[in-house]
Structures are given as C-alpha cells and as structure tokens.
Copies of this chain bind each other. A is one copy, B any other.
Amino acid sequence: MRARINGKAGGRPGGMSRGGASIQDVAREAKVSIATVSRVVNQPTLVTEETASRVREAIKKLGYVPNAYAQGLSGRGGKVLGIVLPDIFGEFYSELLRGADGEARRLGYHLLVSSDAHDHGHPTRNENLAFGLIDGLALMMTEPNVELWRETLDAALPTVVLDAEVNEPGVDSVSVDNTEGTREATEHLLSTTAPDRCFFVGGPKENFDTKARAEVFCATLAAAGRPCTEPQVSCGEYSVDWGRAWGRERQRGAGLKGCAVLAANDEIALGVMQAAQEAGVRVPEDLKIVGFDDTRLATLVRPSLSTVRVPLQEVGAAAVRLLVERVTDSEKPATRMKVGTKLVVRESSRA
C-alpha cells in the first residue's frame, strides 16, 4: 500500500514525480482547465501560443510528469511492451534484448522483461504477464508446444512470436531463415572434410532452429552425394556442457581427429572445442568446428570460432517494430518476417 499524498505535494519545486504535481495542479497554476493542459501536452496545435507558453511554464515550475497509469487507463496506452524469453542469461538473449531495447527506446516504448527460466513454461506465466499493462507482447517460446501458450496467443493482445513460425491468425512472427547459412557452413566443412566425417551437434530435439538446421545439413550432405547417416546428427541442449559431452563421447569412440562439426549454437561449438583441446586434438588442424549465432563468444575464444551469423539484434529490433506497428494499427495484417543467416569463417575451421 503506497502512501497517498493528498492534495498538493509540498517539497522541492522541481523534481517531484510520483505523488507530485498532477494535471490539476498545473491547470490551477496556469489558470486554465485541465483539458487545456492535456492539449498542450498532446495536441499543441489546438492551443494559442500564449496560453500554451503559460502552461508550459507551469509544467516546468511544478515538474509535472503525466501519470502513466492514468494515461493508460484513459485509453492512450502506456507505451509498454512485454518481452518474454526462455531465459535472459547469456550472450544470445543478451544480444536479442539489446536489439529490442534500442528499438523500443527509439520508438518511445518501454520494455517489460520477463524470463521464463524460473517457472519453465508453466501456465502461471499468464498471470505474471501484467496483462492489461502491456500494449503488446514479444514472446519467445521455450518449447514448440504452442498449446502451452494458447491462452496468451488468444488474448486480444498484439503479439509477435520470436524465433519460431506459428500459424496463429493475427500473430506476427520474426524467425530465422537457417537455410542459406547452414548450407554455406556445411559446404564449407565439406570442402576440407569427407561427408561421412561431418557431424551436426544440435540443441533440443524439438527446437525449431535445431530441426531446420539439421535438415539443411543433411540435405546438403545428400546433395554432395553422400546422404547422412543417423549417428551424424545428435541432439542435446544449447549448452557448453552438452557440446563438451558430445566431444568426449566421440573422442572415446571413433575419435575427433579428421572430423568436422557444425554445432547448432556457439556454446555447443565451444564445448566441442574444449573436448578436443582436452584430448590434444588440434583445432582447426585436426578438427574443424563451426558454430551458430555469431555471439560475442565466437570472437572471444581461441582459436576464434567460425560461425553462422544470425542478426540477433535485428531480430529483437524487428520484433519491437512489428509490435509497435500492430499496436498503432490493429488492422495491419499479420507479418511473417524472416532474417537471413550467413557464414562467417574464422580460425576454427580454416583449412
């Protein structure tokens, strides 16, 4: 229960905010009606310059800032967008967020961030979402199970889904077109390594991107005349640990030497690299590795990591842009946006 300050708030002239001057105070100070104050703020052309300047002065003097709740309530929307991510930890989400934040800032919106990590996809999420507070929602699903988010998607709230294509009417989406980048990467590996020594180490089996990337990987191998066998594609999770585990396992078996690995993200790639280093297998001389995402990680490790660039900041920014468009124009038809991917060759896969 917040303390309520009745009537005029005393104290410093400038700088009050909450519990500070209201539109009423400004109106009184400038000797006009609250309607006029509101107009000065929102539709300045409707007010005489003389009146307006008097009002502006009063606003300044009292340090008036419109109360966002009241604005929201009276139908203007509070300029807040929600963004829900599986987690907000690590370079991947970090970059996504940064893109979204920048764009939101540019468009005059605020970002309400929420990560799923603490109550993994549990339906209680919906309650947590501050529905009614946010004007739009950018949603990145952990699991491909759209039904988990049924309620959310059905809500009459502008929504854009990140990094997954959904077939919901009226729901925008921004996803990654893995085709080009994956193909490039695979061909790049094939240029130095025999098809049957190429491996794809994926994230979660049901993950949209992992699935897409695995598919293109196999297709490219097939196009090279050597359809990939089952053991050449493995799935796990998007983590260094999984990559390392896969690498050790392989090393114990047929060995990593002479192989090439395309990982479904940079973390996995890094894990594989660590396993190789542990075993004394040199990268890139004995083992080629290509990651995915081109997070900062790729340039931080040695040897630097070849990777497929995904413009994550753009994805975040695009999501926000789409959302704002939809918020301001609810008639806008649903947009399915795709951003391209491209191979970036660094040290870990050099011939």
Contact = CB atoms under 8 A, between A and B. Distances in A.
By size class, the interface of chain A is: 35 or more
Contacts of A76: 1-2
Given A94-B94, A115-B98, A131 B18 contact: yes
Nearest to A70: B73
B113 A68 contact: no
A118 B111 CA distance: 14
A328 B1 CA distance: 6
Contact of A97 (B79, B88, B128, B154): B88
B132 A68 contact: yes
Given A18-B156, A157-B17, A88 B101 contact: yes
Interface string A122-133: 000001101111
Interface in A9-24: 9, 11-12, 14-20
B112 A111 contact: yes
Nearest to A95: B89
Nearest to A79: B130
Nearest to A270: B300
A77 B89 CA distance: 28
Contact of A94 (B67, B93, B151): B93
A274 B128 CA distance: 44
Given A15-B151, A300-B300, 19 more contacts: A2-B75, A2-B327, A14-B151, A16-B155, A17-B155, A18-B131, A67-B73, A68-B131, A69-B69, A79-B130, A90-B91, A91-B94, A94-B94, A97-B113, A101-B115, A105-B114, A110-B112, A110-B133, A113-B113
